[in-house]
Structure formats: C-alpha cells, structure tokens
Amino acid sequence: MQQNNDLKKDIVAGIIGYLTMVYIVVVNGSILNEAGLSLEAGMIATILASFAGTMLMGFFGKLPLILIPGMGINALFAYSIIGNNGFSFNEGLAVVWMAGILFMLTAFTKMGVMLKEAIPESLKHGITIGLGFFLILIGVEKSGIITAGEQSVIAIGDFTSPSVIAGIITLFIAIYLFVKGVPANFLITMIIGTVIAMLFGVSTEGAASVHFEFSEMLFMPSFSAASEISFWVSVFSLALILIFENMGILSSQLDMLKKTEAYSKSYRITATSALLSGIFGTSPTVSGAENAAVIASGGRTGKAAITAGILFLATIFIIPWISMVPATAISPILIIVGFLMAQNIKYLPWEQFAECIPALLIIVMIPFTYSIGDGMAFGFIAYPIVKIALGKRKEISIPLLTVSILFFAEFVLKVIGVS
C-alpha cells in the first residue's frame, strides 16, 4: 500500500514538474530561433534534449530531477557565442561539445573540486548576476518596452503599439502570478499572454503541422572556427558557467531531498546530458531550478523524472499549438528569471573592494557590451590586476590566471584584427 502511495506521489510530482517547466520548450525554441534554427526545430531540439537528460536522471540517477536547457546559458549560446562571434550554428554546437567534454572531465576527475576552489566566489556571483541583468535586457527588448534610441543607446518603446501594450499587460500579470506563488505560473503566463496578444491583434501564427525526420535532429558540430582564440574563450566561458551553476543547483536540491550522497552521480549525469545537448542541437541542459516544486510535491525517486521525461517527449505532438506563443508572452518569463538571478547581488562582499570591483565589472559589462563572454573578460582580467596592486599575488590561482590570460589575449587579437 505504501509503495502504491509513493508511486502516485512520484507520478503526480513528475506531472507538476513538467507543467512547471514545459515553458522552456517555447522560450528556448525562441532563443535558438534567433541563433539560426527554425522555431519548430528549436522546440524539437529542446524537447529531445530535455527528454534524454531527464530520462538519464530517472533511470540511472534514480532522482526526481528534471533536466532542461539552462536559462542564461541559452542566452550565452545564442547571443554571444553565435551572435557576437559570428559563428555558424554548427560552430556554436562545437563549442557546446568541447565545453561538455570539459564539464565531464570535472565530473569524472578531481578537476571539479580544484576548479571550484580556484575561482573566487565573488566572480561566480558576478557571472550569475550579470546573466540576470542580460536576460532582463533581452526581455524588455523583446517586449518592445525599450528599443534602440536615435539620440541615445536605448530609449523607451512606443507605448501606443499594440504589441508593446500586450507585452506590458502580460508582464504585470506574470509578476502577479509569480509573487502569489501560483503553481505553473510561467505556463499560465504564456497562455494568458497569447490570448492578450490575440486580443490586441499581435501575430500568433503557429506551425501548421510537425514534419521532421529524427536523423535531421542529430546535429554535427563544425570545428572550422577551432583555430580562433575566440572559439576557445567561448568554450572556457561556457564550461565555467556550466560547472558553477550545476554545482550550486545540485547541492541545494540534494539538500532538500536529504540525499547529499548522490551528488557525484547526479553531477556526472548532468555533465553527460550537457554534452548530449550538442547532438540534439541546443544549448546545454541543467537541473531546473523549478525542481523545488517536484520535491515539494512529494517526488523522491527517479519515477518522477521518468514521468516528466515521457510528457516532454509527448510535447512534440502539440508543437503546432505551442508555437503560437508570441514574443510578448515569452519576454515576461525572461525578465522574471533575470530578477531571480540578479538577486545574488546580496552575496557580494561589499566591504571588500578587491573582490567587488571585478565582480561589478562583470555585472555591468555583460549587458552593456551585449556579450556575456566580453563581460566576463573584464572581471577576470581585472581580478589579478587588483590583487597584484594590493600585494596579494598568492590569492591568484593558476587556473584563474590562465583564464584571465586567455581573455586578455582575445582582446589583444581583436584589436590587431586576428580574432
């Protein structure tokens, strides 16, 4: 009887987790679309990567954790690695593969512990906060609330435009649902936002049908850009974010589950899933922050993850409907996720200027340069300079110094026109 009860709890928790995270299919599909994929292909890639990673976690990790493409990481992939560097989509996937290999090296060797200890906490928080502000910027830009200015870098949008009005109304509804803690609030936001867009005459044309061959969804990376230093800087940037984000997320979720002994196994599965993401044609997956809802709903075993994985795969059949979701219904989710990431600013050691100045450079320069890689570069280059100026050279680790030199070398090569 108890086993039946536990099974029911896991299945219900898996369903709740799916409903809480299915928004990623549309949001990530939209971001991949800006990186060069069709919206339909982007959504299918998201579905397949989420299905594969979640099933791995369910069957082999035996944990109720759902893996989905990470917010912030997908922005890095689309807007910086591909957009700013001018890489093709397949060259971007080569970056994902190489970052996934580095991620796996840290998972299956002692490198993970070494790297975790080598990079200062202030820089880790700076990256997360900077990514948050970058997502907010993308969100308000997608909704039309801000636009490129004629006499300034950015300007307020056209508030007489139906799409901008629809975006603003949807944003306030999204904020209300979120602060009230309404279950599956992101999914509800997309549904309500789509209806509002229709009422204001905003285009919500979806795919007429789904036509694809499975072989077409297996993407091969192109290493034609591997001779450029910007390629390897992108690899290290993506790998660092993957490693630090997953270390933090998994530790907190396993604490909630009271299964801290499963950390190594879950970390390895997450690393494997991130590498597989490149095969399916998307940015790397991570353990979704929304897994807190799965755990709170009673999910305790891999059966919850398997349930969610099956539902993700079934989502392929409703793509014609979910592809109708317009940018005005997606942008509020980017903004709210950005707020959540930006609140890490409370963890910065404000009394230590040597730690805060490099972190603040990352935070400011990521959105100002519209490049996550360039923003990180400013902070990583500044950190050893500040420490040397204060006579604290011993606090500069070899891995940190290596990454800083790589970032600096990329800047130099850009100046002389090589990179």
The predicted pLDDT at position 166 comes to 93
- pLDDT, average across residues 338-364: 90
3 pLDDT exceeds 70? no
More confident residue, 322 or 89: 89
More confident residue, 284 or 23: 284
DSSP state of 219: P
Report which of 88, 38, 70, 79 is spatially closest to residue 373, judged by C-alpha positions: 79
CA torsion angle 245 39 234 264 (round to 10): 30
Pairing of β 146-148 and β 67-69: unpaired
3 state DSSP class of 199: helix
352 pLDDT exceeds 60? yes
Cβ 369 vs Cβ 137: under 8 Å: no
- pLDDT, average across residues 215-238: 81
The predicted pLDDT at position 305 comes to 95
Question: In which band, very low, low, confident or very high, does the pLDDT at 2 lie, cut at 50, 70 and 90?
Answer: low
- Give the per-residue SS3 of 262-314: HHHHHHHHHHHHHHHHHHHCCCCEEECCCHHHHHHCCCCCHHHHHHHHHHHHH
- Structure confidence by residue, pLDDT tens digits, 353-394: 889 999 999 999 988 888 777 888 899 999 999 999 988 888
Q: Within 13 Å and on the Cβ side, how many CA atoms surround 177?
A: 22
**Residue found under tokens 């909630």:** 256
- pLDDT, average across residues 85-100: 92
Question: In which band, very low, low, confident or very high, does the pLDDT at 125 lie, cut at 50, 70 and 90?
Answer: confident
410 pLDDT exceeds 80? no
More confident residue, 321 or 93: 93
Question: In which band, very low, low, confident or very high, does the pLDDT at 346 lie, cut at 50, 70 and 90?
Answer: very high
The predicted pLDDT at position 319 comes to 84
- pLDDT, average across residues 316-324: 83
213 pLDDT exceeds 70? no
The predicted pLDDT at position 208 comes to 46
Positive or negative: CA dihedral 312, 316, 317, 320? positive
Q: Which helix (H) or strand (E) holds 68?
A: strand 67-69
More confident residue, 349 or 240: 349
More confident residue, 82 or 215: 82
How far is it, in rounded angstroms, from Cα 373 to Cα 285?
19
Positive or negative: CA dihedral 269, 337, 42, 237? negative
93 pLDDT exceeds 80? yes
Please state the pTM of the whole predicted model: 0.78
- Structure confidence by residue, pLDDT tens digits, 127-141: 888 888 988 988 898
59 pLDDT exceeds 90? yes
